[in-house]
Chain A
């Protein structure tokens, strides 16, 4: 008689399991279903196999938006991670100043996406927006609705403003977890500020940074609302990222089969990259 510990606890997982089934698995299966059929109307569906996938993969429009997407996410990471670390390093360690700083830094995180879009849509306008007006006053020709580069930079700037605080807060908590003795030892070893950063702070921020990179990558890769509100994807299709292309395809053109195949590929890309990051995290933990 080999008694095993109580297994009834598994029942507690049931609600979550059902929720996930309804919210994720069933819709996902619908998408899979759509992606292999051509549907004209109720009862008029034809099995087409991998045709949609082939089409999607060769579609120039989609390729372009995929490249734009990677460029955008890359730029987001390249700016927000160092900037976030920098902000975290500058924040006071404790006391009233520290708390005040935390609140100020966290404010952009509390604003809904569409509101962020609206704020920047107005803020960056050349006529009534403070930002756009100021740039124009400095003699630079700036118009985010007309100029591709300006539109791009504005979307990027908006994202930096919105999400760098997240990176900063994560790093801040990581920095606080470093025991005081390490700084004291570095002081005694006469380490320069840079050496302290390079050999104490950065190595100890590693796991926090992996999480920050993962979150920021996934989020920026799926960005939709903010550029949609700000530029509507324009001018032309210069700020049309993957999710917007997808939406246009599915809702605008009602091209469901192609949209479904595209969604799956999109999903797989996110999954693949998240998995890469995940293994990186677990690997980092094991090394400790």
Chain B
């Protein structure tokens, strides 16, 4: 187990990168602590797989250092870094049995046979594949194969970290639940550093204690699932986390707050204060669909809006509303009822109204 540190690390697949666009990963510093469960979350092409390959040693960063427990490992291959990795598609040795698959990394490390046996059985028990040990690995189902790939990482006691590259892609939704739960239990039980790459926010947030959201080669936020949800540091995080994503509205300055169309939104004093000192005119406000409140009666703090659509998603409803020219989504409980075209009243609780200048969150002293 190790602490993994990326120091002034950047990577470009081009030999002489000139601008930031030439980088798959722009320069960053980052620490993955010992025994943490982390996720790297982002859309395809954001650089998350490159990052994972740099940690594992399959790719060498073009700039900066990768440190394992403070030791520079840039030039070390995955085998020398003691990294285990689980790939998107299950990689198993078809000609071997499940037992032989699990024993393989230990045999390669010349572990004594008796020790191999106990260790393999131990891991098989954790993964609930004990009854499959003597089956040929190629006859397993996709989720069992993925468990075997995982098991090959877990059997090694010297492993410094386990990396997961979208490991649940080929698994049926019903089984995803079970496997994700298994992963989490394994993490609690073994206390191994785990980094999990995915584009699925639910997978990331249910697996990881802390999530690094990547966008365009940068880590735009590194925080707990709750932080990402409640205070997205970047408009992209707001959009990407949550389903549907945050309502993000382009606004301009006005006295005491901001304005869009003919709607004035008052801001907290500290927000207005900071905004007044900034020069940029790229101003946006964001509020999560979960935090907009709907009522059928107007008060001083409400805004009248028209209901455009109500989508029933079983456990909740998504209401599309139009305020001025601005279309917004609001999440309501499954009991909510309103006819399309009717008028309702929205309010935006101040603590959930986020202010973004140049796409980054304006943060107050308290946060």
Contact = CB atoms under 8 A, between A and B. Distances in A.
Is there a direct interface between A and B, measured as CB atoms under 8 Å apart in the complex? yes
Interface of A: 179, 181-182, 184-185, 187-192, 195, 199-200, 202-204, 287-288
B83 A188 contact: yes
Contacts of A179: 89, 91
B367 interface: no
A204 B104 CA distance: 18
Given A190-B79, A203-B94, A184 B108 contact: no
A192 B96 CA distance: 16
A190 B109 contact: yes
Which 9 pairs between the two chains have the least Cβ-Cβ distance? A203-B95, A189-B105, A185-B91, A190-B108, A181-B87, A190-B79, A199-B93, A188-B78, A181-B91
A185 B138 CA distance: 16
B104 A199 contact: yes
Which residue of B84, B88, B91 has the most chain A CB atoms within 10 A of its CB atom? Answer: B91
Given A185-B152, A189-B152, A191-B108, 16 more contacts: A179-B89, A181-B87, A181-B91, A184-B58, A184-B85, A184-B91, A185-B87, A188-B84, A188-B105, A189-B104, A190-B109, A191-B104, A199-B93, A199-B104, A203-B93, A204-B94
Contacts of B89: 179, 181
A200 B101 CA distance: 12
Given A184-B58, A203-B94, A195 B108 contact: yes
B85 A188 contact: yes
B78 A187 contact: yes
Contacts of B104: 189, 191, 195, 199
A191 B156 CA distance: 13
Nearest to B53: A184
Residue with the greatest number of chain A CB neighbours at <10 A, chosen from B78, B88, B109: B78
A202 B95 CA distance: 9
Given A189-B104, A195-B108, A184 B95 contact: no
B77 interface: yes
Nearest to A191: B108
Given A181-B87, A195-B108, A199-B104, A188 B93 contact: no
B96 A199 contact: yes
Interface in B141-169: 149, 152-153
Residue of A182, A190, A195, A200 most packed against chain B (CB within 10 A):
A190
Contacts of A188: 56, 78-79, 83-85, 105, 153
Interface of B: 56, 58, 77-79, 83-85, 87-89, 91, 93-96, 104-105, 108-109, 138, 149, 152-153
Nearest to A287: B138
A167 to B, nearest CB: 21
A243 B84 CA distance: 57
Contacts of B152: 185, 189
B73 to A, nearest CB: 14
Contacts of A189: 104-105, 108, 152
B11 to A, nearest CB: 18
Nearest to A185: B91
A187 B138 CA distance: 20
A202 B96 CA distance: 12
A287 B137 CA distance: 12
B87 A184 contact: yes
A200 B59 CA distance: 22
Contacts of A203: 93-95
Nearest to B110: A190
A192 B87 contact: no
A99 to B, nearest CB: 22
27 contacts: A179-B91, A181-B88, A181-B89, A184-B58, A184-B85, A184-B91, A185-B85, A185-B87, A185-B152, A187-B77, A187-B79, A188-B78, A188-B84, A188-B85, A188-B105, A189-B104, A189-B105, A190-B109, A191-B104, A199-B93, A199-B96, A203-B93, A203-B94, A203-B95, A204-B94, A287-B138, A288-B138
Contacts of A190: 79, 105, 108-109
Given A188-B56, A188-B79, A191-B104, A182 B95 contact: no
A192 B104 CA distance: 11
A192 B58 contact: no
Q: Which of A188, A191, A288 has the most CB of B within 10 A?
A: A188
A33 B322 CA distance: 91
B51 to A, nearest CB: 16
Contacts of B77: 187
B91 A182 contact: yes
